[in-house]
Amino acid sequence: MATQKVTIVGADGKLGPSVLDELLASGKFQVCVFKRASSKSKSEYPPSVRVVRVSDDFPVDEVADALKGQDALVVTITPYLTELQKRLADAAVKAGVKHFIPADFGSCDSQDKKVCELAPLYGRKADVRQHLQELSASSRHGFFWTSLVCGHFFNDDLHLKHIFLEDGRADVFGDGELRASTSTLKQIGRATAKVLELGASEKTKNRVLYIQSFCVSQNQVIAAVERAASTKLKVESIDAQKFMDKWKPKADEGDPDGAEELIWALGTLYANWEERELSNNLLGLSEEDLDEVVAGILG
C-alpha cells in the first residue's frame, strides 16, 4: 500500500518547515502535524494540514491513539532528544504505522564508530537507530525505518562554517581542499518526500541513505561567498587535530559551544558521501548550484 498519510513531529523547527513544504508540494500526501499542548508557536499551516495537540512529554499511549490510521511518521526535532524519539517509535509501532524517519539528519554519519566516539550526539543517534532496528525485527505489521544523512545544513549561519564576513576572514582545516557533502534544507525536504513516495522499497527499508546538494571544499565555499558578497576574505589555516582536542572535552561536558565546534569539524573532515553509496539518483535529486545557493542565502 502506498504511503499517503504522514505525520510530522517538529514542523516548526529548523528543518521541519522545509519537509512540510516539500510533502505538500508533492501533492501525494495527507499531512498531519503534532504539536505540544503547551506550544505557543504561531505557524500558519495550509488548510489541508491537520494539527493534533499532544501532551508535552508525548506519552506512548496518547501518541499511539493519535497516530492510528497514519502510514508514516517523520521526526525533525533536535536529535539530542533520544528518549523522546524512542517513545515516538514505540507509539508508531503500537499504532500500526509502517514507516519511521528519525531525526538522523545532519552533519555526520552515526554509523561511523569514530564519529560516535568523538561526538556524543552521534552516539545518541546510533542508539535511536538501534532501537528502530529492534522494533522492526520484532514488528508483526512490517514496521521499518529510513535514515537520511545529509551533511551540514548549508543554510546554517556562515559563522557555523567559520566564515566571518563582518571580520573579513575565514578558517579552513589544512589547505582547505578537503571536500565534504552538504545539503540545503529544501534538498532535505525533497529527499524526505521522495523516500516516502518509494515506501517499503528494499532500497529504503531499514537503511541509511546519503544525500547532498553538492560536495565541495572549504575553499570553494569561501570563494562562492566572496563572489556573492563582492569581497575578499583573509583565510587562516588551523590544525584539525589540535582543534578537536581543544573542543572535545567541552562537548563531552555538555557545553553547547563545544558541541557546535566539534560537529563543524567532524562534518567538514568526515562527510564526503561520494566515497559511499550516494542516494541522489535513487531519489531523483539533482545537485544544486553552489553560487546560486550562496547568493540566495546572502540575499
Q: What percent of the chain has pLDDT over 70?
A: 99
Structural contact between residues 290 and 216, judged by C-beta atoms closer than 8 angstroms = yes
**Is the residue at 280 inside a domain?**
no
**Amino acid identity at 291:** D
pLDDT in tens, 253-279: 888 898 899 989 999 999 999 998 999
pLDDT of residue 241: 94
- List phi, psi (to 5°) of 270: -130, 45
Structural contact between residues 267 and 108, judged by C-beta atoms closer than 8 angstroms = yes
The Cα 116–Cα 5 span in angstroms is 34
**pTM (two decimals):** 0.95
Structural contact between residues 172 and 219, judged by C-beta atoms closer than 8 angstroms = yes
DSSP assignment of 171-239, as one string? EEETTS--EEEEE-HHHHHHHHHHHHHH-S-TTTTTEEEE--SEEEEHHHHHHHHHHHHT--PEEEEE-
Please give the torsion angle defined by the CA atoms of residues 288, 290, 291 and 294, in that order, rounded to the nearest 10 degrees.
100
Name the pairing type of β-strands 234-238 and 179-183.
unpaired
3-state secondary structure at position 273: helix
C-alpha angle with apex 143: 137 to 145, nearest 5 degrees? 90
**Is the residue at 28 inside a domain?**
yes
pLDDT in tens, 187-236: 999 999 999 999 888 899 999 999 999 999 999 999 999 999 999 999 99
Domain count, the chain: 2
pLDDT at 34 over 60: yes
How many other CB atoms are there within 10 angstroms of residue 169's CB atom?
14
Residue 161 DSSP label: G
Q: Which domain holds residue 258?
A: 153-181+213-275+286-298
Alpha helix segments (H runs only) across 80-212: 82-95, 113-118, 120-138, 185-198
Q: CATH number of the domain that 192 lies in?
A: 3.40.50.720
CA atoms within 13 A of residue 273's CA, in its CB half-sphere: 27
- List phi, psi (to 5°) of 288: -100, 165
- Averaged confidence pLDDT in the chain: 93
pLDDT of residue 168: 97
Least confident of 40-44, 79-83, 94-98, 199-203: 40-44
Residues 283-295: what's their mean pLDDT?
A: 97
The answer to whether residues 89 and 199 belong to one domain is yes
CA 125: distance to chain centroid? 11
The Cα 121–Cα 209 span in angstroms is 19
pLDDT of residue 178: 97
Q: What does the chain come to in residues?
A: 299
**Is the residue at 281 inside a domain?**
no
The answer to whether residues 98 and 245 belong to one domain is no
Structural contact between residues 35 and 51, judged by C-beta atoms closer than 8 angstroms = yes
Residues 158-186: what's their mean pLDDT?
A: 96
pLDDT of residue 1: 55
Name the pairing type of β-strands 72-75 and 5-9.
parallel
The answer to whether residues 194 and 243 belong to one domain is no
The answer to whether residues 166 and 119 belong to one domain is no
The answer to whether residues 266 and 200 belong to one domain is no
Structural contact between residues 262 and 107, judged by C-beta atoms closer than 8 angstroms = no
The Cα 144–Cα 255 span in angstroms is 34
The answer to whether residues 60 and 117 belong to one domain is yes
The Cα 279–Cα 287 span in angstroms is 11
The answer to whether residues 204 and 80 belong to one domain is yes
Name residue, grid cell 528519525: 102
The answer to whether residues 118 and 77 belong to one domain is yes
